[in-house]
Amino acid sequence: MSLSVAGKKAGPIGFGLLGLSRPPAIPYDQAIKVMKAALNHGANLWNGAEFYGTPTENSLHLLNHYFTTYPEDAAKVIITLKGAFTMSMSPPGPQTNTAGIRQSIDNCLAILDDKVFLDVFLPARIDPDVPIEETVTAIVEYIKAGKIGGYGLSECSAQSIRRAHAIHPLSMIEIELSLFATEIFSNDVADVCAELHIPIIAYSPLARGFLAGGIKKAEDLPQDDIRRRFPRFQDGALEANIKLAEKVREVAERTGFTMAQVAIAWVRRQGGRLGTVIPIPGCTTLGRLEDNMRVVEVGEEELKVLDGLSERMRVVGERYPEAFLKYTYV
């Protein structure tokens, strides 16, 4: 299947930049080695955010550094960036009115400094108090001016997709999709994307590490790991979800592939019924990158077993802390 996003050909697996700039950020020169390796493995769709890090060290600054170092790669990638979301409020929240959208896109473009084209801008979340039509109209100003290539939505509802698409065609939807997160199949988001031929960019295909194979007990998560703030990683829920992940490991062991490779292959396979689905696992090391970026084909029998697991799984805990839940599937 030929995959494309924003008019550009995309590889079967993309790359999420979150871990490379989330505090404590790794040195830029170390981070761009991982990014370069990802591109060499065919992962040319990169996904970052204005708020992945601090106001002075985030995905945008990292991308500027990368394309200052490797200007020849600018034409090889599809850059997708989330913004219009502030972490400085309590609780954090979206800024998707016209002023917020303009401020965010202008900031993104200023920091990128023409080093690479911004193919897709996405408001990170939708503000239920701001009409989606206002948000999209503000973004379309930049598309028509040729400053960005297109736009997407993240963690949105089927209704918001339809309303936004009616204003201007969407380039992509970024949504959580994994064996641990299959809500899009029951809330009409997947059906609408298939109907309107909108690519789905699947973040957290490894369920924030549960399906990567490295979390086998609570002690495997450092005490300062940000995931401990998420309900699924807290006492009681963590142990129950590890047991669910072990069922995926059992399937993987029968294939000869790693747990992560099988979990990502399952996400990719959803494109058979939805159209374009590109998982965007993230990582900070070359070893993990090699594992995540290997494209494997899992047999039909194992895929059916995984389908059955995903249907029966009762993952314990919400996907996000309570403060963020009101901005999911808006």
Least confident of 86-95, 231-240, 259-268: 86-95
Which residues participate in catalysis according to the annotation?
A: 52
Using DSSP bridges, classify how beta strands 277-279 and 200-203 pair: parallel, antiparallel or unpaired. Answer: parallel
Range 320-328, long-range pairs (CB < 8 A, 24+ positions): 320/230, 320/231, 321/229, 321/230, 321/231, 323/91, 323/92, 324/91, 324/92, 324/125, 326/128, 327/93, 327/94, 327/125, 327/126, 327/127, 327/128, 327/155, 328/125, 328/155
Share of the chain above pLDDT 90, in %: 84
Considering only CA atoms, which of 65, 10, 58 is closest in space to residue 38? 10
Q: Which helix (H) or strand (E) holds 94?
A: strand 93-94
Assigned token pair, 318: 């919400």
**Phi, psi (5° rounding) for residue 12?**
-70, -20
Topology of the domain covering 4-325: TIM Barrel (3.20.20)
* Boundaries of every domain in the chain: 4-325
The pLDDT of residue 100 is: 97
The pLDDT of residue 330 is: 87
151 — pLDDT class (breaks 50, 70, 90): very high
What is the rounded distance in angstroms from the CA atom of residue 73 to the CA atom of residue 133?
Answer: 35
2 — pLDDT class (breaks 50, 70, 90): low
Assigned token pair, 280: 């965007």
pLDDT digits (tens, 9 = 90+) for 58-78: 999 999 999 999 999 999 999
pLDDT digits (tens, 9 = 90+) for 248-295: 999 999 999 999 999 999 999 998 778 899 999 999 999 999 999 999
The pLDDT of residue 89 is: 67
Q: What is the rounded average pLDDT of the residues 298-317?
A: 92
CA atoms within 13 A on the CB side of 279: 27
213 — pLDDT class (breaks 50, 70, 90): confident
